[in-house]
Chains A and B, each alone.
Chain A
């Protein structure tokens, strides 16, 4: 059990020990870094490939279809076939496009998504880089995606691209605020910005003392996850690439592997956001019986399933609803949530459950009331009688 839990750590240590027998120390240090980077660089794209398959299968099942099942058993080789297709497609650059921006954007958009993997604790002792500002690093890195999206949209010299880019930037800036604020209670209670420490702070109760099982944690989790879905530009927040309105948004003018890179970034983002949500609120790799890394991947994939489930269920929301949800509902709720977490920190026993839960429930109810849309009882016509 212990070996199984630490299998990746042990195998890395084994490789390094083997290299240490005949190589100088500094090469071994470099190799240590290289192995971690390699693991992330392989994990990211492979995750993306199989997320596309998972998405198509799950959406298919939700719509009473079967989904891809022709290439390999259960369509398991479908991502490879797609990859070959993408690589052999013609690369089209529109006439009058800004060559530098158009070329660099798909490359730049993948970098933040890959960097975000660096602070995710995949298991016990399996955080690639245990930064003491891990959560902040994640947020900072994912906020730079906007620039790549701007480059793609502006470089394409296409109206729809620019519209999509502007929408995307507006959306990401808006949703970054409640996302960051929803993480604050976790940092407050765990007393650290390091992802590894946050996971360790959720130890106890047989590996089930997750933050999501507290009132503030529950609300923060929901808010964080919704904002994460919006940050990934996934349905129902997929206005930047709304097919029925602006073709494909900022990646309208991309084809072949460049287009695939945008998709890769999107899917890796959804993986890392789910992974961070699992880390912050669902106890990360904490859990009974199973190996730690398995727990992490189970939780992450469960959250990704929820994202796909959203996509299979919800229609795209309007721009004013999008902004209204972020600024008028999630933002005040996160501020109340920070207050609740502070009260939780300073009170004890059953009282803190009662206080925080009642405050949050009350403010949720109040915000619902305040945010209720205006529906006129009688339709008023401007010109007709």
Chain B
């Protein structure tokens, strides 16, 4: 052994890295950096970020009923909701104000888990940087609204599962309503039948 052979070996390693960084593909020893604003990695489906409000078909038809559960569950208290009232002062099942302060939001996703109406979900949008945190980062109701199609686009698995569940629930509800209606009708019919003081015998007998 003479002086310097170990150093030469080390130098060869770095030189190899230097040269291959220009010619080789990322998985063969080249540079694996993805230069972000121009190129980007594909988004993962389970990636979650800031919340948004979901609506069906048109923005008037939003799912949120202003129940205030998410605002109560939110750990940093970044959600602010005011219920909408109609002219007579009767409360409506929709929010007049739905504000989320994204400077406070910590992307925990508890609002999504807490919502019983499938109205609030975590988004994939993360490039919200702005120079004005008071005006640009306080999102109002209309900024937060996004369609169900968008939800299907970013999180297809979750969206279809939720839609299926909702459809089932809807159908169950409809069935229940139908059943209730039928029961009502039957009741009414029974009542109608029972109304005549002296019904004919076969009915009473049935």
Q: Contact at B18–A313, with CB atoms within 8 Å?
A: no
- Please, which residues of chain B bring their CB within 8 A of the CB of A58? 18
Look across to chain A and name the residue whose beta carbon is closest to the beta carbon of B21: A61
Binding site for A on B (CB under 8 A): 1-3, 7, 10-11, 13-15, 17-18, 21-22, 29-33, 35
B interface footprint on A6-46 (CB within 8 Å = 1, 0 otherwise): 00000000000000000000000000000000000000000
Q: Contact at B1–A368, with CB atoms within 8 Å?
A: yes
How many angstroms between the C-alpha atoms of A312 and B12 in the bound complex? 11
Q: Contact at A364–B3, with CB atoms within 8 Å?
A: yes
How many angstroms between the C-alpha atoms of A310 and B13 in the bound complex? 12
Among A61, A64, A66, A309, which residue has its beta carbon within 8 angstroms of that of B11? A309
Q: List 26 A-B contacts (CB under 8 A).
A: A61-B17, A61-B22, A62-B14, A62-B15, A62-B17, A63-B17, A64-B29, A64-B30, A64-B31, A65-B31, A65-B33, A66-B35, A69-B35, A309-B15, A313-B7, A313-B11, A314-B7, A314-B10, A329-B3, A364-B2, A364-B3, A365-B2, A367-B3, A368-B1, A368-B2, A368-B3
Among A312, A329, A364, which residue has its beta carbon within 8 angstroms of that of B14? A312
Among A66, A313, A364, A371, which residue has its beta carbon within 8 angstroms of that of B13? A313
Known: A62-B18, A64-B30, A313-B13. 15 other contacts (CB 8 A): A61-B21, A62-B14, A62-B15, A64-B17, A64-B31, A64-B32, A65-B31, A66-B31, A66-B33, A309-B15, A312-B14, A313-B14, A314-B10, A329-B3, A368-B3
- Please, which residues of chain A bring their CB within 8 A of the CB of B14? 62, 309, 312-313
Q: A218 → chain B, closest Cβ, in Å?
A: 13
Contacts A365-B2, A371-B3; is A64 near B10 (CB within 8 Å)? no
Q: B138 → chain A, closest Cβ, in Å?
A: 30
Q: B5 → chain A, closest Cβ, in Å?
A: 10
Q: Contact at A61–B10, with CB atoms within 8 Å?
A: no
Q: Contact at B3–A61, with CB atoms within 8 Å?
A: no
- Please, which residues of chain B bring their CB within 8 A of the CB of A62? 14-15, 17-18, 21
Q: A112 → chain B, closest Cβ, in Å?
A: 30
Within 8 A of B (CB), among A258-316: 309-310, 312-314
Look across to chain B and name the residue whose beta carbon is closest to the beta carbon of A365: B2
Q: Interface of chain A, helix or strand or loop or mixed?
A: helix
Look across to chain B and name the residue whose beta carbon is closest to the beta carbon of A58: B18
Within 8 A of B (CB), among A62-76: 62-66, 69
B interface footprint on A61-102 (CB within 8 Å = 1, 0 otherwise): 111111001000000000000000000000000000000000
Within 8 A of B (CB), among A336-385: 364-365, 367-368, 371
Q: B164 → chain A, closest Cβ, in Å?
A: 45
Q: Contact at A313–B10, with CB atoms within 8 Å?
A: yes
How many angstroms between the C-alpha atoms of A58 and B18 in the bound complex? 7
Q: Contact at B18–A61, with CB atoms within 8 Å?
A: yes
Most chain A beta-carbon contacts within 10 A, residue among B3, B17, B35: B3
- Please, which residues of chain A bring their CB within 8 A of the CB of B1? 368
Q: A64 → chain B, closest Cβ, in Å?
A: 6
Q: B65 → chain A, closest Cβ, in Å?
A: 47
- Please, which residues of chain A bring their CB within 8 A of the CB of B17? 61-64
How many angstroms between the C-alpha atoms of A314 and B15 in the bound complex? 12
How many angstroms between the C-alpha atoms of A58 and B13 in the bound complex? 14
- Please, which residues of chain A bring their CB within 8 A of the CB of B35? 66, 69
Q: B43 → chain A, closest Cβ, in Å?
A: 22
Q: B20 → chain A, closest Cβ, in Å?
A: 9
- Please, which residues of chain A bring their CB within 8 A of the CB of B32? 64
Q: A58 → chain B, closest Cβ, in Å?
A: 7
- Please, which residues of chain B bring their CB within 8 A of the CB of A63? 17
* 6 closest Cβ pairs, A-B complex: A313-B14, A62-B14, A61-B21, A368-B2, A368-B3, A61-B18
Q: B150 → chain A, closest Cβ, in Å?
A: 32
How many angstroms between the C-alpha atoms of A156 and B170 in the bound complex? 76
- Please, which residues of chain A bring their CB within 8 A of the CB of B10? 313-314
Look across to chain B and name the residue whose beta carbon is closest to the beta carbon of A315: B10
- Please, which residues of chain A bring their CB within 8 A of the CB of B11? 309-310, 313
How many angstroms between the C-alpha atoms of A329 and B32 in the bound complex? 42
Most chain B beta-carbon contacts within 10 A, residue among A62, A310, A314: A62
- Please, which residues of chain A bring their CB within 8 A of the CB of B15? 62, 309
